[in-house]
Amino acid sequence: MTYALHRFGALIGALLMLITAACGGNAVPPTSAPPTSTVAPPASPTPAAAGTDRYAALPQDVTVQGFPQIGFPSATVDVVIYGAFDDLASGTFYRDSFPALLDRVRTGEARLIYVPLVTGTLSGGRGAARAALCAGDQNAFWQFHDLLFGWQTEFPTDPFAGDRLLTGGAAVGIDVNTWNTCLLGDRADLRLDDAQQAADNEPDFTSAPYVTVNGAPSLTDAASLNFTITQAAQQFDQTFLTTPSAGSTEDVQPTPTIDPVIDSTLAPLLAQEGAPPPLELDLPAGWGRAYSTVVLTDIDAVRNIPFALYQGPVTGGTGSIIVLWAFPNLLPAGNPFAQETAVAPDLYLDGTRLLRLAVVEERCNIGTDLRREYSIGGLAAVGTSFAAVDCPGQPDTRGWLAGLQQFNLNFLFYVYTDPIEAMDAAQSELQAILDTVRFVLPDATETP
């Protein structure tokens, strides 16, 4: 994988020499960055003309988990809709709130992800969801989505009758034979199972429709969603823009961060250039390791963040594990409708922030999936899948990130493969390495 080595290109040579020494042979060059494929948007997204397919000008894709996605890759706000075609409340949301969301997609501000559930009272809901997902294989999920919700009001007693679903493919102009082949398989069912699991993993989920904006739950009426998206976009600008926008005379103010409390037993360790992290792990034969410090421009300061690289052969290619540790937290924007004023740090947000700042080449097209839990050494960690493609001079890659705290320090693990296809077979091999992680508090009497 490639770290954002354009930011600290001088580090590459040192890392390669360290890996060579550790492996006792030729070093494997760091592979390319993490992973989700997207197509660069036009400079000024243009709304679809009246009377035409309203999705025609918008890029359609799927997330790493296979959920339908629409919007430009440059969008800074991810809106995740947990909805059900067989649910009357989801139909009301579609009619009352969805048009406003689509407007924000057309302007390039937001990207929509739909997590299809089967939780309503109308019959035929699973067949409807399967049909929409299969239409999505031909970039027609959102058109079929409109068709299904339209049938809710047009045919209130039996909107998803079998013969009606069979005409749906032709109605949205897709290849019906390909669509039927998908319907006969089980891939759509597996996606629906993943969708239900994603909803179960949301701590605040109660019922459809349920919407998150950049990971935080939002009220679902149009006014509240517009407000929350605006707040999230402003938060992104304040956090990630380090220079004033064109024509601006004011400096961008960074979001405050919380520096980790460093235990006195860790101070000598952090003072050492290229010191290993306070953990041990078992590496397979042929793997090497290297330690250094990443120097990067964070939102409020230039920071030195301890860095560890573990790299070696896996089935089908090369596996890499990057560990960043002892970095400060970024405070998330939080839910503007919540009553509490204190917002806890979120390692999921830190992980996606540092993915772009320190791990992936900034000119890659980067995509992340929904928040989920992972395991590091048997301990619970929070993170997400990611992918990076179209990286200049680097191969595409994908993997996952996971963060947790130990010894009052933050740790982030980035796991990926080169080539990108190697992850299909190597995921269990890489997780097996993470399962061996043991966090070890240094001896307070140690000296550098």
Please provide the DSSP assignment of 100-160 as one string.
Answer: HHHHHHHTTSEEEEEEEE--SSSTTHHHHHHHHHHHHTTT-HHHHHHHHHHHHHHSTT-TT
What average pLDDT score do residues 171-192 get?
92
Q: How far apart are CA 260 and CA 223, in angstroms?
A: 38
Contact 256, 300 (CB under 8 A): yes
Q: How far apart are CA 294 and CA 429, in angstroms?
A: 27
Contact 320, 288 (CB under 8 A): no
pLDDT above 70 (res 3): no
Question: Using 50, 70 and 90 to split pLDDT, how confident is the model at 275?
Answer: confident
**Which pLDDT value is given to residue 298?**
57
SS3 for 303? strand
pLDDT above 50 (res 20): no
Question: Using 50, 70 and 90 to split pLDDT, how confident is the model at 15?
Answer: very low
* Cα 13 to Cα 9, 33, 179, distances in angstroms: 8, 17, 51
Q: Which amino acid is at 280?
A: E
**Which pLDDT value is given to residue 241?**
46
**Which pLDDT value is given to residue 95?**
96
Q: In angstroms, how far apart are the furthest CA atoms of the chain? A: 76
Q: How far apart are CA 351 and CA 187, in angstroms?
A: 30
Supply the mean pLDDT for the chain. Answer: 78
Nearest to 67, CA basis, from 83, 88, 89, 91: 83
* Cα 397 to Cα 33, 65, 310, 415, 419, distances in angstroms: 6, 16, 16, 10, 6
Query: Which of these CATH numbers, 3.40.30.10, 1.10.645.10, 1.10.1040.50, 3.20.20.70, describes 60-239?
Result: 3.40.30.10
Query: What are the extents of the domains in the chain?
Result: 9-30+257-439, 60-239
pLDDT above 50 (res 253): no
Say what the pTM is.
Answer: 0.54
Classify residue 432 by its DSSP letter. Answer: H
pLDDT above 60 (res 39): no
